[in-house]
Every structure is written in C-alpha cells, then in structure tokens.
Chain A
Amino acid sequence: EPEVTQTPSHQVTQMGQEVILRCVPISNHLYFYWYRQILGQKVEFLVSFYNNEISEKSEIFDDQFSVERPDGSNFTLKIRSTKLEDSAMYFCASSVLRLDSPLHFGNGTRLTVT
C-alpha cells in the first residue's frame, strides 16, 4: 500500500540553525499538510498546501516556517532559526481530496533542538 515517507527520522540541531524536514506524499494525492506533536501534547495543525500555495496556516506557522514543493514528489518544511520550543515530532500528511478524504500520515521526524 502506498505510504507517506519522511526523512530524516530524527534530526538534532542547535538553536538558531536552519532545518529542512522532507516528505514524499502519496503520488496521486493533491493536498499536503504538516502537523506537529510536542511530547505529551496534542497533535497540532501547522499548514495545508495545495496547487503550490498555502491553503491555511495556524498561528504556530509564523515567519520562521516555510513550505515548498520543489519538484513533483517532495514536500518540505523549513524552519529558519530553530528555537528550543520547536522540539517536537513533525508529521507530514497527504490526502486525495480536501473534503471527506482521510489523511495519510508519515512516521514523522523527531526534531530535537539543543
């Protein structure tokens, strides 16, 4: 069964450094998302992306964050200057449609900012 793949599985970085988290969504999916889960907390929406544009973003997704679909397969999340509070599990997801279409999640990238 097709799946969403994320790399790396674990990223350690120093505060202030830039990180890029990578995702390969399922090939026929059109809608892409980033979520994050801080340890012990709820899964939180960051951003949705369709047709090479951000559809919606949360208050968390400030100017330090950006997303890109650089080619036909990859979907990336960039954090320009990481903070300690950015430490979390970051999940990429994709769906075929926007409405009433289950989201398929990757296994996540654990980001640790020291």
Chain B
Amino acid sequence: KQEVTQIPAALSVPEGENLVLNCSFTDSAIYNLQWFRQDPGKGLTSLLLIQSSQREQTSGRLNASLDKSSGRSTLYIAASQPGDSATYLCAVDSSNTGKLIFGQGTTLQVKP
C-alpha cells in the first residue's frame, strides 16, 4: 500500500532564504507526483507535476525533483517570500486513475 510522508511537518525561515521540502513514498511504481499549495481555508493549488519519466520540473522560483528509485521528491523554493507561507502537499498517482495519495504536508512560514 502506497504511503507518502513529508518532512518536516513545519518550517519557519526568514525572507530571502532558499529552502527544500521533502517528500518520500514507499512504492516506486508511480505514474506521476504532484506538488500542491494549500492556503488556510482554501483549496489546493497545483504547483508542479512530474511525470514518472522525468527528473525535475521548474516553475518560476520553484523546482521539483523526482528520484523514483529511492522514492523521494524535493520541492526547492528559491528566495522565499512571505507570500510563500502556506502548507505544501505532495501527492503520488500510483494507479493511473487520478487517485492521488497525499502526504500530510509541510507548513511553511516565511518571516519578513
């Protein structure tokens, strides 16, 4: 059974720092991995999707990497800003049905 874990659960950094969020999954047979952002009381916003054949994806200050064989993904945020404060979730699609298995998230606080 696929399980997704995110470390750390919470992270607080000063503005301008580069940071890395970690995601691990137990079954390497995945179709893709997605990173989402969740603001309090809001839905999930898709940030990046990495296909199983890809190693990384970039969007602006965000870079996500995928190492399927070791069951790991990282989300790198460059030059963090207070507006980046949110909970970041990773999720894997292991079944090719759009059924995503989510981690518990990392809550990020960027202090001005």
Contact = CB atoms under 8 A, between A and B. Distances in A.
B43 A91 contact: yes
B99 A105 contact: no
Interface string A67-108: 000000000000000000000000101010011111111111
Contact of A45 (B31, B32, B99, B104): B99
A45 B100 contact: yes
B45 to A, nearest CB: 7
A33 B42 CA distance: 17
B107 to A, nearest CB: 12
Contacts of A102: 34, 46, 49
B111 to A, nearest CB: 24
B95 interface: yes
B98 A42 contact: no
B31 A43 contact: no
Contacts of A105: 36, 43-46
Q: Contact residue range for chain A?
A: 20 to 34
- Of B97, B98, B100, which is in contact with the most chain A CB atoms at under 10 Å from its CB? B98
Interface in B78-112: 89, 91, 93, 95-105
Given A99-B31, A100-B32, A48 B97 contact: yes
B63 interface: no
A56 interface: yes
Interface string B30-54: 0110101000011111100101000
A106 B101 CA distance: 18
Contacts of B41: 107
Given A42-B103, A43-B102, A104 B95 contact: no
Contact of A98 (B44, B49, B98, B100): B98
Contact of B43 (A4, A44, A48, A56): A4
Contacts of A4: 43
Interface of A: 4, 6, 31, 33, 35, 41-45, 48, 55-56, 58, 91, 93, 95, 98-108
